[in-house]
Amino acid sequence: MNTATRFNAPSPLQWVSLVTAAALVLPTGYIMYLALTAAPAVWNRLWSTRIPELLWNTLSLATSVALTTLVLGVSLAWIMVRYEFPGRRLWEWAVVLPLAMPTYVLAYVYAHLLGMGGPTEQWWQAIMGSEAKLVSPHSFPGVTLIMALDTFPFVYLLARSALLNLNVSFEEVARACGVPPWSTLWRVTLPLIRPAIAAGLALVILYVVSDFGAVSLLRYQTLTYAVYQQMTGRYDQSAASILSLLLVVMAIIFLVTERWFRRRSRFYQTSGRFRTSTRRHEGILGTILITAYVLLVFGASFGIPAVMLVQWSIAAVAQGALDARFFGFIWNSSFLSALAAGGAVLIGLPLAYLASRRPSRLNLACLQAAYAGYALPGPVAALAVLVLFTHFVPALYGSVILLLVAYILHFIPVGLQSMEPALQQVTPNVEEVARTLGCTTRETLRRVTLPLIQSGCITAWVLMFLQTMKELPATLLLRPVGFDTLAIRVWQEASEEYYQLAAPSALLIVLLSVPALLLLVAKDWRGRDRGVIT
Amino acid sequence: MNPVKDSEPYHHLQGTVPASETGDLRVAQSPVLELRDVCCAYEPNRPAVEHITFTVLQGEILCLLGPSGCGKTTILRAIAGFERVVAGNIALSGQLVSSPDTLIPTEQRHIGMVFQEYALFPHLRVEKNIAFGLNHLSRPQQKAIVDDLLALTGLRGLEHRYPHELSGGQQQRVALARALAPRPVLLLLDEPFSNLDPDMASRMRQDLHTLLRQTKTTAILVTHDHDEAFAMADRVAVLRRGWLEQFDTPEAIYHLPTTPFVADFVGQADFISGLVTNKLVVTEIGEFPNTKNFPTGTKVVVMIRPDDIHIVPTKGADARISARQFKGSENLYTIQLRSGQIVHSSESSLSMYEVGTAIALRVVATHTVLFPQPPGSGTDT
């Protein structure tokens, strides 16, 4: 009994987490700084030329996608929660699958499906005459459709969980007051799930605003795409950082909106015991209509694209696409992703641990700093890392290290979202009991805490691995010369309209993403109301 | 209405552990734990506990009793070394472990702890849970101790289960066995029965008491339930808002509470104001001996328990029954006196009187206690 300790000495762990947090906000801070100190002439040029158009394009696209996902997501959630029809349990899961398809994959499939001379146009012209035109995938409605088909599950998931947690007594009270069913829906049910829907829409908008894959393949000018172009075409870093600043501000606005509504939605839901609504059994006609609708949405968003990918892949394999180069891409992707995910777990763990065990203002701030990556679209994360390294450590430019740093910065929030609840589930009592049984802090960590959060860390690793595997813009901008990954190959082949060649890589990415997505949704549906961010 | 004058039989209880129960440990044994003037605070200027002083002797079972928020768990956590003390000090087996600038880490204090939620390690089987604190011993030694404890706690046959495969009572036994395995100098139990249903809780209470005596374990148990404290403890510390109100044997706490709060907290009590006249305390329900020798003319409050007040239905009497509460083993009557003062009477479960019946009271004052009347207060406390 001799190691009496003094008060308030900051532990090594504290230092580690402080340094990490600082390192994670540094790149973002630096481009903010570059943007704000850019020459007024650059600001003026951008304001008078590009910015109004880019802002309009980005915001109008976000709005139209949000409205489309609102209709799709809420209607599907309503059907899945309130109706019973054959295969409902399967459909409930199936309509989440579009989240496993990166936007650049969906965009490239649709570029073929809806493109000039594509199958849909031929079919349409056979009916409507040879002059009939379809909506172009490169047009505003085309991009809207593709983005909406990829993102409506965000709204679906949140609306579904809100409807399931809705105390049916509210509706029964309304009916008892003499309000007919249709108007009960408008006056009671929808207002009650409104915060959840709003949170879902904010997530959709965030996704659209920061998307690079679809807009770059469809050549639709948004802010995110413009940042990429400034960096590759014009090598204008100060213009790129000004556009990035706008993007980050927008992203933060929608992130805050999403959090606010999500917190609010808890007040609208009944905790504890309550009755949920029963599912309605429809007649034959109703069942056919419902099934047709669900089938249509699923087919357009996942079914048909998946079938196309399989067909193309078979054709590509027959032509010998699975050569040594292809396996080289797989190796590059896996190697990078595994390193990035591992690094992020190691870096994220001290932050999450301190925030849950010693939730002082400082420790919570460190954790929040790690979430900064959320507000960075891929090209912006790449820009941030690039300018920081070229200005201060130019020797590392062009190495894999830049890529790893960008990945960790960009995806550590995804990992923290799995590690944080895992740590919170370990009650401090369990650790304290280990101390009374003679374990030091370090032994307690090794024998109790780490074994208990192991599965949470593995989940975090898997999710970050897959996110990195799918990542496109940062990889494009930062990879060493000639270093190709699966995602890069899909994008490059698709840009050149080699649809078949792109298919095996795309299919592989989708196939790997599906189990991880289902894992995440299953966790969410087991009761804890945590966000599914893909 | 003649109070029985003799309140002597309970006087010997004050400040003494009955020798028959603990083998007169007071004389023979040194204290295992000493708290001297201990203050703890979660935030500066908002003390959670203040100036707590007491000692616990070898083999003794102490209960910290009080309403929620009174600081009893804080004291437990300070003893375990989870909370710092901002003033005073704590000594375990004669060694200083906590003071404002000393904090011996928990793992060096050789204490055992059973948490309210048991805090079993969910990733370890029962046997591994119990053996958790025995890492310094060889495998066969560990196994011998675990086997002993499995037998002692009645957990044989469950050693390969995981915690989630056990009932609440079994989980608690595992938590207890795990805490006892390293032979701690002091066992701390934080509301150990609060997660069990009442039948189970009273059985476990019996078993725990036997087990602690068998293993000669010194223990501190935190509870808000006075029945539990009385059933388990050799001595009880009653706490209120971070202050130690009384530290004594259960019998003395019940019969000779030193403050009105203690009197009220450990059982139903009524407080009747009286005036000291001529060596007697005169009240609305009769006269009582002036046990505390207050000078004549002092306004005092007399605490009286329902089992000392009996009902005699009397036509034309001033007092009326205003409510009856059937409790199974007794009837608890609420009685309104002429002045409006309320008192309670405990009658046998078969004695039934209508609400509104006029009654006289027969007071058998075995445990009346006098308190000086708090300034400015009315008849009722």
Residue among A4, A433, A451 minimizing CB distance to B115: A433
CB contact under 8 A, A452 and B122: yes
The minimum CA-CA distance between B364 and chain A, rounded to whole Å, is 49
Residues of chain B with a CB closer than 8 angstroms to some CB in chain A: 80-82, 84, 95, 97, 101-113, 115, 117, 119-123, 132-133, 135-136, 178-179, 181-182, 184, 188
Residue B85 has pLDDT above 60, yes or no: yes
* Pick among B84, B106, B118, B195 to test the A interface (most A CBs inside 10 A): B106
How many whole angstroms separate alpha carbon A96 and alpha carbon A294? 12
Q: Quickly count: other Cβ atoms within 10 Å of residue A339's Cβ.
A: 18
Which residues in chain B touch residue A361, judged by CB atoms under 8 angstroms apart?
none
Highest mean pLDDT among A19-28, B52-61, B266-275: B52-61
Mean of pLDDT values over B302-315: 88
Our measurement of the distance from residue A390's CA atom to the centroid of its chain's CA atoms, rounded to an integer in Å, reads: 29
Whether the Cβ atoms of residue A434 and residue A448 lie closer than 8 Å to each other: yes
Say if A445 is an interface residue toward chain B (CB within 8 Å). Answer: no
Query: Which residues does chain A have within 8 Å of residue B186's beta carbon, measured at their own beta carbons?
Result: none
Minimal Cα–Cα distance from A446 to chain B, Å?
A: 13
CB-CB neighbors (< 8 A) of B109 in chain A: 1, 436
pLDDT at residue B29, rounded to an integer: 63
Predicted confidence (pLDDT) per residue in A102-138, tens digit: 999 999 999 988 887 777 878 888 887 777 777 888 8
User: Which residues have a Cβ under 8 Å from the Cβ of A532 and sit 6 or more positions away?
Assistant: A99, A154, A157, A520, A521, A524
Mean pLDDT confidence for A174-200: 86
What pLDDT does residue B10 have?
Answer: 42
Retrieve residue A53's tokens.
């158009």
The distance of B247 to chain A (nearest Cα, Å) reads: 26
Which pLDDT score is estimated for B2? Answer: 44
**Between A486-495 and A324-357, two packed helices, what is the crossing angle to 10 degrees?**
120
Cα distance between residue A219 and residue B337, in whole Å:
92
Q: Which pLDDT value is given to residue A436? A: 92
Domains belonging to chain A, first-starting first, are 12-124+132-525 (1.10.3720.10)
Q: A357 vs chain B: nearest CA distance in angstroms?
A: 13
- Helix/strand/coil for B113: strand
Q: What is the mean pLDDT of chain A?
A: 87
pLDDT of residue B223: 93
Strands (E) in B254-366, as ranges, are 270-277, 280-283, 286-289, 299-304, 309-313, 319-326, 330-336, 342-348, 358-363
Q: Tell me, what's the pLDDT at B9?
A: 41
Identify the bridge partners of residue B303 per DSSP, sorted by sequence position: B271, B369
Question: Residue B345 has what pLDDT?
Answer: 92
Helices (H), B85-235: 126-130, 139-152, 168-180, 198-214, 226-232
- For A115, the enclosing helix (H) or strand (E) is none
Best mutation target, A357, A436, A450, A454, to test chain B (most B CBs within 10 A): A436
Whether A8 and chain B come into contact, CB under 8 Å, resolves to: no
Q: Per mean pLDDT, which of A335-344, B113-122, B309-318 is the most reliable?
A: A335-344
Each residue of A475-501: pLDDT tens digit? 999 998 888 899 999 999 888 888 888
Q: What is the pLDDT, as a whole number, of residue B18?
A: 43
Q: Where are the beta strands (DSSP E) in A207-292?
A: 280-281
| For residue A520, pLDDT beyond 70 | yes
Measured between CB atoms, does A448 come within 8 Å of chain B? yes
User: Which residues between 99 and 118 in chain A have a beta carbon less than 8 angstroms from any beta carbon of chain B?
Assistant: none
Q: What is the pLDDT of residue B20?
A: 43
CB contact under 8 A, A1 and B108: yes
Spatial strand order of the sheet with B102-103 comes to B46-57, B31-43, B87-92, B95-99, B102-103
Model-level pTM? Answer: 0.78
Q: Residue B85's closest CA among B69, B101, B107? A: B101
- Reduced to 3 states (helix: H, G, I; strand: E, B; else coil), residue A341 is helix
Scored b (16 or more CB within 10 A) or e, B82-96 reads bbbbbebbbbbbeee
Which is nearest to A477 in space by CA: A242, A235, A245? A235
pLDDT recorded at residue B195: 81
Q: What is the set of domains in chain B, with CATH numbers?
A: 9-263 (3.40.50.300), 264-372 (2.40.50.140)
**Least confident piece of the model among A414-418, B137-141, B331-335:** A414-418
Closest Cα in chain A to B183: A437
With b for 16 or more beta-carbon neighbours within 10 A and e for fewer, the B330-366 pattern comes to bbebbbebeeebbbbbbbeeeeeeeeebebbbbbebb
Q: Which of A521-530, B1-10, B318-327 has the highest mean pLDDT?
A: B318-327
pLDDT at B376: 56
Question: Which of A182, A155, A189, A347 minimizes the C-alpha distance to A268?
Answer: A189
Nearest-10 crossing angle of helices A237-268, A50-82:
30
Choice among A7-21, B34-48, B196-210 with the minimum mean pLDDT = A7-21
- pLDDT exceeds cutoff 50 at B357: yes
Tens-place pLDDT, residues A274-285: 667 778 888 899
Band of residue A324 on the pLDDT scale cut at 50, 70, 90: confident
Q: Does A425 touch chain B (CB under 8 A)?
A: no
Q: How much is the pLDDT for A4?
A: 38
A522 in contact with B, Cβ within 8 Å: no
pLDDT band per the 50, 70, 90 thresholds, residue B6: very low
Q: Which residues in chain A have their CB less than 8 angstroms from residue B121's CB?
A: 430, 433-434, 448, 452
Mean pLDDT calculated for residue range B36-53: 87
B14: pLDDT strictly greater than 50: no
Mean pLDDT of B111-117: 90
Note the ipTM here: 0.75
pLDDT at A260: 84
Q: What's the rounded mean pLDDT across residues A150-156?
A: 94
